[in-house]
Each structure stands twice: as C-alpha cells, then as structure tokens.
Amino acid sequence: MRRLLIALSALWLTAAAPAMAERLVVVELFTSQGCSSCPPADAILGELADRDDVIALALHVDYWDYIGWKDEFASPAFTKRQRSYARVAGARSVYTPQMIVDGAEHIVGTKPMKLMEAIKAHQDRSTPVTVTMTRNGDRVRILAKSSARLPEGATIRVATFTPRATVDIKRGENAGRRLTYHNVVRNLVDVGTWDGSSDFRGSIQSPAGVPFVVLIQEGHHGPMLAADILR
C-alpha cells in the first residue's frame, strides 16, 4: 500500500487539476469495511475528496457483511446501484473495490494511473447540461439547464454524505484495523426525471451544514451529464 500511495502522490503532482475546470467529474467508489482489498482504494478516494474538480463519493455495499463484520455504512440501495451499473455495462458480476468515473468508466479501485487517465478524459468531455445548487436555510435549490433536448432522458438524484469517518474494525477480513473513510454517502434519492426541454427547478430540504450533491445521469444509470456539490 505504501508504494501505491507514493505513486498516487506523484500522479497528483503531475496531473494537477486546472484552475478553471470545465466540469466536475464524479468518481464513485464501491467499497466495504469487510473487504481486505479495499483500504488502498479508500485512501485513494480520500485524496480525490480534497480536489475541487472531482466529486468523490464512497458507496458501501452490503454483500460482504456475511463474513463476520457488518459495515455500518452499507446499504442494499448502494449494492443495487452497483449492480445496475454492471447490467448497463454488460458485466456478469460486481466486485470491490470498484470505481466508476462519471457513470461510464469502470476501473479497479486500486489502479491510480487508469483512474487519473479516466478523470482527465472525462474533464474534457462536453455535455449540453449544467446544474447549480444554492442553499437557503434548510432548503437546497437545484437549477438544471440543457442546451438541447435529451433523447434518452435523464435521472436527477441527490445525495448527502459524511466527509470523514474513522472506524475500528473488530471482525472480518480487516479485523484489528482502524480505517478512515471519506465522503461516505448516507442517502441517495431519486428526485425525478427530466428531458431537458425546459429548465429543471427543484427544492430539497437539507439541514444547514450537511454536505450535499446533485447528480444528473443519462437515462437511469448512464453517463453523468452534470453534477454539483455543496460542501
């Protein structure tokens, strides 16, 4: 893991984000506290979480809970999301750690070079959609615009997350380890569908200070069209 993090740090220096990124790239890590291969990927996501040009999200799946340690952050909804991505990609199975870049590119979570290449490629990808969020007290207002109609339609989702959490693992493959997780998704909710023919305006209740993300994807689990974050 030490060699992996050294390599990752070098990549961060040589592939620093531009000052004026065109769009935010979404990186979803499917992980589990019960997976011994996941801590290096969790650490990589922690590095991504510090970047202003990336929305890094950890979604903990529940299919490793049977081996002796129940992941307190895991949700069947996140497992379902990963399986939906696999189905769209034509994959026959799911695994951890897996990173999905912008809803489109599937990468083993411990491959930082491939990850950086994918992030750069998706930063350069253009879409007709933009989205912004503003907070007013306990309400978050969402405004999405599209310069063209979306023939496949789009799904708009919102998520809340915990920026940092440290857990003492007492059983399972990571027994005896104290692990830190970053941008742990706690709730992921579908707001609605949208065809881009007119502006989308929405308002969601969210306690002040709670980090908040909006994701707009082509179809249901297709490529990301736009995203925004309130930290």
What are the pLDDT digits (tens) for 192-211?
999 999 999 999 988 888 89
- Whole-number Å distance between alpha carbons of 89 and 58: 20
Q: What is the pLDDT of residue 12?
A: 45
Instruction: Kindly list the strands in the beta sheet with 139-146, ordered across the sheet, starting from the edge strand earlier in the chain.
Output: 129-136, 139-146, 200-205
Quote the radius of gyration of the chain (alpha carbons, Å). Answer: 17
Whole-prediction pTM: 0.90
Per domain, the residue ranges of the chain are 2-230
| pLDDT top residue among 6 and 186 | 186
Residue 21 has pLDDT above 80, yes or no: no
Helix axes 39-49, 2-14, angle to 10 degrees: 20
Share of the chain above pLDDT 70, in %: 90
Q: Which helix (H) or strand (E) holds 199?
A: none
Residue from 158, 136, 156, 142 nearest 207 by CA? 136
Chain mean position to CA 137: 25
Q: What is the pLDDT of residue 29?
A: 99
CA 63-66-72 angle, to 5 degrees, is 70
Residue from 230, 196, 223 nearest 102 by CA? 223
pLDDT mean over 3-13: 44
pLDDT mean over 65-70: 93
Residue 159 has pLDDT above 60, yes or no: yes
Q: Dump pLDDT digits (tens) for 71-124.
A: 999 999 999 999 999 999 999 999 999 999 999 999 999 999 999 999 999 999
Position 202, amino acid: G
Within the chain, residue ranges assigned H as helices are 2-14, 39-49, 76-89, 112-123
